[in-house]
Chain A
């Protein structure tokens, strides 16, 4: 069981800056994020796109913003648990007991949800019956490529993941690559390689097709695909892999007894606290009159939620507002010299 003053769910810009605010005022915190990297939407959706409305930063990309926030946290020792999704939040006396899908447990008086639009999950095949084969013969990510050796693998998608795996698996498997249009959006070098492998007969390229049905008993046996002109093809296959990117889903947050409206959580604007004492929501996931989904709003919300956490984490102490420019205590925490 990890004990901490505050647990932050989400390692996007808002979660990172909230951690900074907590550490500045002398509280401990840990961060959990379902993605395998730090940065949230900034890193997953628009790492290369420039952002123009961060105060005092005329222009920076999602990746640069993330890196700067990580740098800002350097003076502090903060545990970030990546690739873990918080599944359960339960009250036990004065603390919240938080459990992840990886069986990490936390005990904390404060939970700050900085979850953006929810957790990123792989986008799945629209065909309902695919669920039956999921993690047996249908996959959305690959952990062990050996299981495909000598088998027929049908890959769906047109981005880098689909193309990279088509090239890689074509070495030891029979590969079909199915995509809804002729153009691929992956790196040009990989696209060229796929076309070469297709010419050499190593990859069967099926463009303008999409999946319409799957067949099989316990294991996948055959899939049906249909093209733009309603031409139907049956493909014998042992495995189907879907690489359609990630979607954001509110997920387990919906079960924690919070007031949720249109995938956002209602909070007050003093503490950014939800209807549950000690659970806060900040950033894109919170909702209050006048809410703007801007990164700068997330920073403000995190700063106020952090102060609210102080009361529950240090019930016998009084919080004193201090400036980083003048406070010796804060400078000590930052490890910088006082004047």
Chain B
């Protein structure tokens, strides 16, 4: 279990307990946090679960697979700290993780 804070584009904080093994995307979708579309359902095939990972966390979470970087090319306004939230799997180590949700997914 990890407490994850999702900051939506209107600067609202949503802090949720997410079970280990779920993805950060699933944590958002199951708790109706707005701004994450996840059209492909977690298949790393659509870039609509794009988040910006808080700088201090970016290097602590497991790194991207090659395919994720390719999909991020298609995300809306990708930055250095962009990730697909379906590819970040929750563990105890992620307790306190903060991610920002972009203004749009497409």
Contact = CB atoms under 8 A, between A and B. Distances in A.
Interface of A: 41, 45-46, 49, 117, 123, 126, 157-159, 179-181, 183, 185, 210, 228, 244-245, 247-249, 263, 293
Contact of B40 (A41, A157, A185, A210): A41
A126 B74 contact: no
Contact of B69 (A183, A244, A245, A249): A183
B78 A180 contact: yes
B46 A45 contact: yes
Nearest to B73: A158
B65 to A, nearest CB: 13
Given A247-B48, A247-B106, A180 B73 contact: yes
Pick from A45, A46, A247 the residue with the most CB of B within 10 Å: A247
Contact of B39 (A117, A157, A158, A228): A117
B32 to A, nearest CB: 9
A249 B80 CA distance: 27
B77 interface: yes
Given A123-B106, A159-B70, A159-B73, 16 more contacts: A41-B45, A45-B40, A45-B43, A45-B46, A46-B43, A123-B74, A126-B76, A126-B104, A181-B73, A183-B69, A185-B69, A185-B70, A185-B73, A210-B77, A210-B78, A247-B39
A293 B29 CA distance: 15
The main secondary structure of chain A at its interface with chain B is loop
Contacts of B48: 247
A245 B41 CA distance: 18
- The winner among A157, A210, A244 for most chain B CB atoms within 10 A is A244
Contacts, number: 47
B82 to A, nearest CB: 9
Given A247-B46, A247-B48, A247-B106, A126 B39 contact: no
Contacts of B76: 126
B77 A126 contact: yes
A49 B104 CA distance: 28
B80 to A, nearest CB: 6
Task: List 9 tightest A-B contacts by C-beta distance, closest first.
Answer: A45-B45, A185-B70, A245-B74, A247-B106, A117-B39, A244-B74, A158-B73, A248-B39, A126-B77
A263 B43 CA distance: 18
A158 B80 CA distance: 16
Contacts of B106: 123, 247, 249
Interface in B67-95: 69-70, 73-74, 76-78, 80
Nearest to A159: B73
B43 A181 contact: no
Given A117-B39, A248-B39, A46 B73 contact: no
Interface string B48-78: 1000000000000000000001100110111
Contacts of A123: 74, 106
A52 to B, nearest CB: 13
A26 B43 CA distance: 37
B23 to A, nearest CB: 15
A293 B41 contact: yes
Contact of A157 (B37, B69, B73, B80): B73
B103 to A, nearest CB: 9
B90 to A, nearest CB: 21
